[in-house]
Amino acid sequence: MGSNTLSSVREIRHSQRANGPAAILAIGTANPPNCVSQKEYPDYYFRVTKSQHLTDLKQKLSNFCEMTSTEKRYFHHTEELLDAHPEFLCRDTPSLDARLDIAAAAAPELAALAAAKAIAEWGCPATDITHLVISTNSGAHAPGIDLRLVSLLGLRVSVCRTVLNLNGCSGGAASLRLAKDLAENNRGARVLVACVELTVVSFRVCPSAGPCSTSTLISQAVFGDGAGAVIVGADAVHSIERPLFEMVSASQNTIPATDGVLTMQLTEAGLDGHIFTRELIPLAAKHIEQCLTDAFEQLGIICGGTKWNDLFFVVHPGIRGIMDHIQRALRLDPGKLAASRTVLRDYGNMLGATLIFVLDEQRRQMEETGEWGVMMGFGPGFTVETMLLHSVARNLHDKN
């Protein structure tokens, strides 16, 4: 009886797993309507924070904005909303509750816009979604974005929900890594990943001096709001579904002794943290090649040197300096990071949602890139998320 039971368990386990690798089946993105050009942002910021007398800081922010290569960003918060919450402009006044209440109402709506686009492209009913993965740095409620999204999209009440909080810019990559595991270990699973970010939780007035001043100004020059959604599933039904990228392997590496380089924490005055760009930028470039090499060697593939130019790249852009350093470290041809640079230009850094925007932009550029590629996200830790991708859409196009 014991051996028969064991055999049955193994048979059941085998039947629960998908036959093939997980694949990205559809992508959707969305932004709030409030758009501010990067050129106008310093005037906007110092006006809404009632800090126009800090002319030296305004010039410093202008310099940071010019260095980003970003042309515009989108925000849920408006001047009217900020005027209604003067506590947001005083670092010593508790404002976390109000910020989280705003995000709790707005984040599910924005995530639903991106998810609805992905579901429409996917072409199947929303009730076919079996798993929901939410990533955000903007929420701290339960029930939260996940349950509200179930209602907004009309998902089945039995959908399996998982929420990832405070993963920073690596949230998008971490969510897709989890979705890959869910899809491959649950036959027939269709996973909706939704990453949504609202900077109202971190918007704050800049202190007049000190290290916090620089960190605050960098954050104000870089981050914007957005939501990205992806449908992930294995064993695609080709009469209905159109796979875009197979998710071949995924890994996570934490660089030792770097936990202070990029930090985030919820405080009474909202989401706060520090970005030490002088250390962060070279860190990403120094370790990225080893992370890529390790990822390929796990599959028995030796890759490196000029071979990196045979790949396409879906990389969280962070800030322009990171892109420049990565391009030099990997000796990449001009244009290899075009998708990342395009998203950084048009939207800024939307934390975890950014990588999905880059993925969406990359699939539009697939005619000019290779069949194999890598997706990479960076976050607190300092953490590097790496996923190897295979372009199914490109492969099918070539065969046709």
Supply the CATH number for residue 96's domain.
3.40.47.10
Residues 206 and 71 in one domain: yes
Going by C-alpha positions, the residue among 326, 389, 386, 384 that lies closest to residue 362 is 389
Picking from 207, 234, 261, the residue at the C-terminal end of a domain is 234
Q: Omega of the bond prior to 143 within 30 degrees of 0, cis?
A: yes
**pTM to 2 decimals?**
0.93
Instruction: Considering the candidates 90, 160, 169, 206, report the single residue annotated as catalytic.
Output: 169
Query: What pLDDT is recorded for position 36?
Result: 97
Domain residues for 52? 22-234
> Strands 72-75, 34-37: parallel, antiparallel or unpaired by DSSP?
antiparallel
Write out the two tokens for 317. 């852009």
- Is the backbone of residue 32 left (phi > 0), alpha (psi -120 to 50) or beta? beta
Going by C-alpha positions, the residue among 148, 147, 136, 258 that lies closest to residue 202 is 136
Residues 230 and 250 in one domain: no
Residues 229 and 342 in one domain: no
Query: What pLDDT is recorded for position 396?
Result: 45
Residues 116 and 214 in one domain: yes
3-state secondary structure of 14: helix
User: What is the amino acid identity at position 340?
Assistant: S
User: What is the amino acid identity at position 133?
Assistant: V
Within a domain: 364: yes
Find the DSSP H helices in 255-317: 277-297
Within a domain: 3: no
SS3 sequence, 172-235? HHHHHHHHHHHHHHCCCCEEEEEEEECHHHCCCCCCCCCHHHHHHHHHHHHECCEEEEEEEEEC
Query: What pLDDT is recorded for position 395?
Result: 47
Within a domain: 222: yes
* Dist CA 349 CA 376 (whole Å): 15
Query: What pLDDT is recorded for position 46?
Result: 93
* Dist CA 118 CA 359 (whole Å): 13
Residues 197 and 276 in one domain: no
Residues 191 and 249 in one domain: no
The single-letter DSSP state of residue 259 is T
Query: What pLDDT is recorded for position 392?
Result: 86
What are the pLDDT tens digits along the chain (400 aa)?
456 766 788 888 888 899 999 999 999 999 999 999 999 999 999 999 988 888 888 999 999 999 999 999 999 999 999 999 999 988 788 999 999 999 999 999 999 999 999 999 999 999 999 999 999 999 888 899 999 999 999 999 999 999 999 999 999 999 999 999 999 999 999 999 999 999 999 998 887 655 567 888 888 999 999 999 999 999 999 889 999 999 999 999 988 888 888 888 888 888 888 777 777 777 777 888 888 888 888 888 766 555 899 899 999 998 888 899 999 999 999 999 999 999 999 999 999 999 999 999 999 987 655 689 999 999 888 899 999 999 986 544 444 3
* Dist CA 89 CA 4 (whole Å): 67
Residues 82 and 180 in one domain: yes
3-state secondary structure of 130: coil
Contact 382, 321 (CB under 8 A): no
Produce one character per residue of 360-393: b if its CB has 16 or more CB atoms within 10 Å, e if not: bbbbeebeebeebbbbbbbbbbbbbbbbbbbbbe
**Cβ neighbours of residue 342 closer than 8 Å, sequence gap 6 or more:** 361
Within a domain: 5: no
Picking from 194, 211, 234, the residue at the C-terminal end of a domain is 234
**Cβ neighbours of residue 230 closer than 8 Å, sequence gap 6 or more:** 24, 26, 27, 28, 118, 176, 179, 192, 193, 356, 359
Residues 109 and 135 in one domain: yes
Picking from 175, 200, 234, the residue at the C-terminal end of a domain is 234
Kindly provide the residue ranges of all beta strands, DSSP E only, lying in 6-99, ordered along the sequence.
Answer: 22-30, 34-37, 72-75
Per the structure, the count of domains in the chain is: 2
Decide if 169 is catalytic: yes
Residues 194 and 286 in one domain: no
Residues 37 and 180 in one domain: yes
DSSP H/E element including 64: helix 55-68
Query: What pLDDT is recorded for position 306?
Result: 52
Q: Which residues pair with 270 in a beta bridge?
A: 267
Residues 253 and 220 in one domain: no
Query: What pLDDT is recorded for position 286?
Result: 81
